[in-house]
Amino acid sequence: MSTAELHTLTGAYALHALASDERAEFERHLEDCPACTQEVAELTATAARLGLAMTRTPPATLKEQVMRQISAERQEPPRVPRPAPATGAHRARALPRFALAACLAAAAAFGGIAVWQNQEARDARDQAQQSQQQAEALASVLAAPDAKVSTGKLTDGATGTVVVSRDRNKAAFLASGMPKPPSGKVYQLWFNDKGAMRSAGLMDPSSTSGGVLMNGPVDAASGIGITVEPSGGSPEPTSDPLALMNFPTA
């Protein structure tokens, strides 16, 4: 394996996803590569903090349910060769009229479809780049050497974890098991500045677990609050906090 390829294995190594021979080769590479060593340390710390925030004890009945489903699952039927396709005039007669019409319509619309697909591809690429930048910023806080972690219980058995890096002047919030907000509502995060709430961004209403980098600097904030707000968020809280969490101090 080339050195360039080894540089790309830091994430897989941190998550113990390498085969034994690849792992041994990568560990030899780490002895001479400070950059990969540092990246592995940061990714390992990030994975540990994410795991701490997202851990959930499976129900006692899970194994029984899985084993019962396995025993009842039908196996795939044996594969049989498909009959040879019709050829010549017979094949043309076998093609339904609506299929011919669909082919003609598709050919006529192909130019418009190509333009639409190109725009969709650009939008998807831009969204992927933005998501990657957000993930990297979140990972930077989670893996910060001075990062401090505090975990507490939220409503309905949910768990919240706050990670603060004073050096980076940033904070992250990780939730596990939060109920979805009511229709047309969203969870909004707030910095608690000596009792005054400063907006720190919105959580994804479609996800009940995950991490988000809080918008804005930590500055003198002593903790965070979570409220339910109208879709799009509010300039100030319009409901009582679901939870208030203090930033860790040690």
Classify residue 3: in a domain, yes or no: no
Classify residue 93: in a domain, yes or no: no
Please determine, for residue 221, whether its predicted confidence score (pLDDT) is greater than 80. yes
Structure pTM? 0.52
CB-neighbour burial class of residue 141 (10 A; exposed 0-12, middle 13-18, buried 19+): buried
* pLDDT class of 108 with cuts at 50, 70, 90: very low
Question: How far is residue 228's CA from residue 190's CA, in Å, rounded to a whole number?
Answer: 11
Task: Give me the pLDDT at residue 90, please.
Answer: 45
Classify residue 210: in a domain, yes or no: yes
Structural domain total, the chain: 1
Most confident of 11-20, 115-124, 150-159: 150-159
The answer to whether the beta carbons of residues 205 and 175 sit under 8 Å apart is no
Task: Give me the pLDDT at residue 233, please.
Answer: 93
Task: Give me the pLDDT at residue 186, please.
Answer: 93
Task: Give me the pLDDT at residue 33, please.
Answer: 86
Classify residue 131: in a domain, yes or no: no
For the segment 54-105, what is each residue's pLDDT rounded down to a tens digit?
Answer: 555 556 666 666 666 655 655 555 555 565 554 544 444 444 554 545 554 5
Classify residue 231: in a domain, yes or no: yes
Cα–Cα distance list, 67 to 58, 76, 119, 206 (Å): 15, 18, 46, 30
Give me the residue label for tokens 């030899």.
28
Task: Give me the pLDDT at residue 92, please.
Answer: 42
Task: Give me the pLDDT at residue 235, please.
Answer: 93
The chain-wide mean pLDDT, for the chain, equals 74
Task: Give me the pLDDT at residue 83, please.
Answer: 58
Classify residue 112: in a domain, yes or no: no
- Structural domain that includes position 231: 148-246
**First-to-last C-alpha distance (Å) of the chain:** 43
